[in-house]
Structure 1
Amino acid sequence: MPVAQDQFERIARDLPGFGNDPHAIRQRVEAMEALLEGLFVIPGTNRRVGLDSLVGLIPVIGDFVTAAMGAWIVWEAKNLGMPKWQLVRMSANVGVDTVLGAIPFVGDAFDFFFKSNTKNLRIIRKHLDRHHPETIIIEG
């Protein structure tokens, strides 16, 4: 049974994280950051590791795949209407992570310590907390 476009849009809007509102964008960006930077914690340390570090071990291709995922976070920030200077700063974080992360061995260690997506999430949260305070999530 085919679904009409307006029905599809209503269904998608009602699913958590699928809307175009600031709260839904925040949910998506936080989920992507968790996937890229914090899938698990290395035992005995307090360091989170995610796809950015793991996929980055695949020479060249892995770094560009994670760069595309990081660029998606910047694109979502643009959809929030964030200022250009913040978008440039976020793009620079992704660029530095990609360029230095592509260097064999050194780049893998760099990815472990430089969390560009976490930095970008922090920028987005600051913007949302200031301009869309209703999106604040209280963690307990």
Structure 2
Amino acid sequence: MANTTRMSPPNLGSIVPLGTDAASVRRRIEGLEHVLEGLFRIPGTKQKVGLDVILDVLPVGGDIVGAAMGAYMVWEARNLGMSKLQMARMFGNVGTDFLLGLIPFVGAIPDFFFRSNTRNLKIIKKHLDKHHPSTAVIEG
């Protein structure tokens, strides 16, 4: 029999923080927002495009996947103990983004300008900065 080596799986915790502490949640939602809203920059402009706009190419299904990923951010906010009013605002952002994306063929255009995940990240960061100041990151 040939000598086989067993490869160990990558440490997922180094890629995606798996903890339930506020710092891990902050890094997770910042990463998700980056994937959904700012994967790459359109050449010659300052506009970023992410998976949320790209998913709009798939009729209805892409919008459902994008809304589910946005709802995950709200679920993480719930785990942080955010108020029902804040979560309602966040669900409103996700719902508006979903409904705008349902418009056939042109749904990606309003989705490109209405960045619900970025708005929700701002709401979550404001909560974290107030209630968990040790998680704050100084951006340069």
Which bracket does the TM-score occupy, shorter chain normalised?
Answer: 0.7 to 0.9
Q: Which residue of 2 aligns with 1:40?
A: 40
Change (3 A) 1:65 1:14: closer
Q: Which residue of 2 aligns with 1:123?
A: 123
Deviations 1:73-131 (A, max 9, x none): 00000000000000000000000000111111331101110000000000000000011
The separation in 2 between residues aligned to 1:61 and 1:101, in whole angstroms, is 10
Change (3 A) 1:101 1:13: closer
The separation in 2 between residues aligned to 1:133 and 1:31, in whole angstroms, is 19
Matched, 1:69 2:69: yes
Alignment gaps of 5+ in structure 2: 1-10
CA RMSD for the aligned pairs? 1.7
Task: Please report how far the alpha carbon of residue 57 of structure 1 lies from its aligned counterpart in structure 2 after TM superposition.
Answer: 1.4
The separation in 2 between residues aligned to 1:88 and 1:78, in whole angstroms, is 11
The separation in 2 between residues aligned to 1:13 and 1:112, in whole angstroms, is 31
Q: Which amino acid aligns with 1:83?
A: S
Q: Which amino acid aligns with 2:117?
A: N
* Identity value in percent: 57
What is the TM-score normalised by the length of structure 2? 0.88
Matched, 1:29 2:29: yes
Contact 2:38 2:50 in 1 (8 A): yes
The separation in 1 between residues aligned to 2:116 and 2:137, in whole angstroms, is 22
Q: Greater CA radius of gyration, 1 or 2?
A: 2
SS at match of 2:57: coil
Task: Please report how far the alpha carbon of residue 15 of structure 1 lies from its aligned counterpart in structure 2 after TM superposition.
Answer: 7.9
Task: Please report how far the alpha carbon of residue 56 of structure 1 lies from its aligned counterpart in structure 2 after TM superposition.
Answer: 1.3
Mapping for residues 49-128 of structure 1, pairs under 5 Å: 49-128=49-128
Contact 1:12 1:19 in 2 (8 A): no
Matched, 1:17 2:35: no
Q: Which amino acid aligns with 2:48?
A: R
Alignment gaps of 5+ in structure 1: 1-10
Higher helix share: 1
